[in-house]
Amino acid sequence: MPHDKLIAGNWKMNGDIKLIEEFVKKFPNIKSFQNIEVLICPSFPYLGQAFEAFKRLGIKVGAQDCHYKTNGAYTGDVSSKMIRDLGASYIIIGHSERRDNYQSEDSHIFEKVKRAIDENLTPIICVGENLAERQNNDTEAVLKNQLKIFLKNDLKEVDFVVAYEPKWAIGSGQVASLPEISKTHSLIREIISQAFNMEIERSSRIIYGGSVKPDNSEKILKLEEVDGVLIGGASLDPQDFFSIVKEFKKV
Ligand code: PGA
């Protein structure tokens, strides 16, 4: 069955109770919108409140990371079960800000994806090259390396989302060109299909992230290869975020 398009907001280490309340006041109820799933990923402490507040609007919630183990002596960490208990349905895994800030991140991506799946949470696996890699024409090699986790059979039967987020486009106001986005999304689909040794279903979603704003989202969303967007900055403003959601209705 084809999946709904996904519009996901990543609040990063921003937002608070006031922002949740602002969304409740300003973001229209989208429960009647067809073929679209809208998601906001706030910081851990707000997950429960955001879940309660946003379910009335038709918005799902997700986390920005989880620990790679199920439980144990990991002071300050949060497990996928805890995230599930608070009402989340997705977990972002391997965001480039985490890959950059935490040395061991790359080596734990597969386990984190597994922990998400164990709790029936859909992983949003982030991949993307940095500027130097792009300039050296290394994008394909970088993506192949980041997508190696799909060589394990465990992921063949599960629901997942891959977010292509070129690092140089995140928070920079620079967006990848439309042909670049199409080409790279097709490449990602091909790499995963080859890893699985079969066509991956058209329903597996590959979404784009990196400076998506109300004024560029329509063109991006119109691309056949794009199954949704992951939005940082513009997801912190209920009006901007809703403008992007509205574009989907047009697309
Ligand atoms: P941005 O962030 O929309 O602010 O570029 C995207 C992301 O980091 O997921």
> Which of ligand 1's atoms lies nearest the C-alpha of 92?
9
Q: Residue 11: which residues within 8 A CB-CB, separation 6 or more?
A: 19, 40, 41, 42, 43, 64, 235, 236
Mutation test residue for ligand 1: of 90, 230, 240, the one with most atoms within 8 Å of CB: 230
Out of 41-45, 144-148, 196-200, least confident range: 196-200
pLDDT of amino acid 197:
78
Distance from Cα 229 to the centre of ligand 1, integer Å: 10
User: What are 188-213's pLDDT values in tens digits?
Assistant: 999 999 888 766 666 689 999 999 99
Most confident of 1-10, 72-81, 143-152: 72-81
Distance from Cα 197 to the centre of ligand 1, integer Å: 32
- Of all residues in the chain, what percent carry a pLDDT higher than 70? 96
DSSP run (H or E) holding 249: helix 238-250
User: For residue 177, with 0-12 CB atoms within 10 Å meaning exposed, 13-18 middle and 19 or more buried, which class applies?
Assistant: exposed
User: Would you say residue 137 has pLDDT above 70?
Assistant: yes
pLDDT of amino acid 203:
64
Mutation test residue for ligand 1: of 7, 97, 211, the one with most atoms within 8 Å of CB: 211
Section 59-77 average pLDDT: 98
pTM: 0.96
When the pLDDT of each residue in the chain is averaged and rounded to a whole number, the result is 94
Distance from Cα 199 to the centre of ligand 1, integer Å: 29
Per-residue pLDDT band for 151 (boundaries 50, 70, 90) equals: confident
Section 216-228 average pLDDT: 95
User: What are 101-128's pLDDT values in tens digits?
Assistant: 999 999 999 999 999 999 999 999 999 9
* Closest C-alpha residue for ligand 1 atom 1: 232
Per-residue pLDDT band for 155 (boundaries 50, 70, 90) equals: confident
- Let me know: does 78 contact 55? Beta carbons within 8 Å: no
Structure tokens at 87: 């009402």
Q: Residue 159: which residues within 8 A CB-CB, separation 6 or more?
A: 122, 204
Q: Which residues pair with 205 in a beta bridge?
A: 161
pLDDT of amino acid 242:
97
* Closest C-alpha residue for ligand 1 atom 7: 232
The residues carrying an active-site annotation are 95, 165
Q: Residue 147: which residues within 8 A CB-CB, separation 6 or more?
A: 127, 162, 188, 191, 192, 195
- Let me know: does 150 contact 127? Beta carbons within 8 Å: no
Q: Looking at this protein, which amino acid is placed at residue 158?
A: V
pLDDT of amino acid 150:
87
- Let me know: does 125 contact 113? Beta carbons within 8 Å: yes
Domains in the chain, please, with CATH? 5-250 (3.20.20.70)
Section 151-176 average pLDDT: 91
Q: Residue 127: which residues within 8 A CB-CB, separation 6 or more?
A: 94, 142, 143, 146, 147, 162, 163, 164, 165, 188
DSSP structure string for 135-191 = HTT-HHHHHHHHGGGGGSGGGTTS--EEEE--GGGTTTS----HHHHHHHHHHHHHH
Residues within a 6 A CB radius of ligand 1: 10, 165, 170-171, 209-212, 230-233
Section 240-249 average pLDDT: 91
Distance from Cα 73 to the centre of ligand 1, integer Å: 32
pLDDT of amino acid 157:
81
Mutation test residue for ligand 1: of 168, 172, 207, 212, the one with most atoms within 8 Å of CB: 212
Per-residue pLDDT band for 94 (boundaries 50, 70, 90) equals: very high
Distance from Cα 231 to the centre of ligand 1, integer Å: 5
Structure tokens at 83: 């995230």
